Amino acid sequence: MGGQAQAALLFLLGATVLHAGLTDLHLRYVKAGLRPLLLLSGAVLIATAAATVRYEWRRPPHPGASHREPRISWLLTLPLLALILVAPPALGSYSATHTGTALQKPLGFPELPARGPLRLGVAEYAARAVHDRGRHLRDRPISITGFVATNGTDDPYLVRMGLSCCAADALPVKIALTGEVPPVLRPDTWLEVTGTYTPRRTKDPVNDGPVPYLEVTRAVPVPAPADPYEDWSGEVR
């Protein structure tokens, strides 16, 4: 492949990475915190493409180098177009029911508001319920958003997939639902669930990991969030 063709592909790749970084598309691949690195990478690729074009224009022609690049090399642009035109769906209930809960004991728990309702992530509620025994959750209304997963036998789960880096390492954390649960729940439906802490627990049938329960008082379908994944770090947020 000639220098100009290489520059064109570098430019397309850089533009694609910038497009993903400037929109919510990157959230289907990597965690939100990596957005600055994506933007930097895209800018570097475009700058490299510009430098390659400049070098090709200034380089003296080589005798007998009037060959053309094989057209098949342009097939390398197809993955880039697919990245822009066909965004992959976020991992959902199928992955959640075939993967054991990844709940880990965090390094610490941030302070919670002293009073009023709590809005928690799935991983934070699960960690506090299991590893902190719900000390600061008792008798507090709690709102949690996640998607539904069912295995056909146990109570339904409210799930959120968590990322350490990118979608390739996404793993689920699950909360079992009891109480005023809607009688018909479709897998992958996103719900905002309001309820209260209960010490009841069960085990994940995939890996025997602990799965806490939430006593549901209200469940409302909601649109899927722009960022469907939770960002996992040492301290639960």
Range of the domain at 197: 93-231
More confident residue, 1 or 104: 104
The token pair that represents 156 in the structure block: 């339904």
Return the pLDDT at 35: 78
Question: 66-111 pLDDT, tens per residue?
Answer: 555 566 666 666 776 766 666 667 788 999 999 999 998 888 888 8
Distance CA 131, CA 235 (A): 13
- 25 with 126, same domain: the answer is no
* CA-closest candidate to residue 236, choices 177, 172, 162, 168: 162
Residues in the chain: 237
Q: Let me know if residue 44 belongs to a domain.
A: yes
Q: Indicate which CATH number applies to the domain containing 102.
A: 2.40.50.140
Distance CA 139, CA 198 (A): 9
Distance CA 107, CA 12 (A): 42
Q: Let me know if residue 180 belongs to a domain.
A: yes
- 112 with 207, same domain: the answer is yes
Q: Which residues pair with 7 in a beta bridge?
A: none
- 119 with 48, same domain: the answer is no
Question: 129-153 pLDDT, tens per residue?
Answer: 999 999 889 989 999 999 999 987 7
- 178 with 67, same domain: the answer is no
- 108 with 166, same domain: the answer is yes
Return the pLDDT at 24: 74
Of 24, 57, 85, at which residue does a domain stop? 85
- 201 with 165, same domain: the answer is yes
CA distances from 71 to 76, 78, 183, 226 (A): 10, 13, 57, 38
Q: Let me know if residue 236 belongs to a domain.
A: no
- 56 with 143, same domain: the answer is no
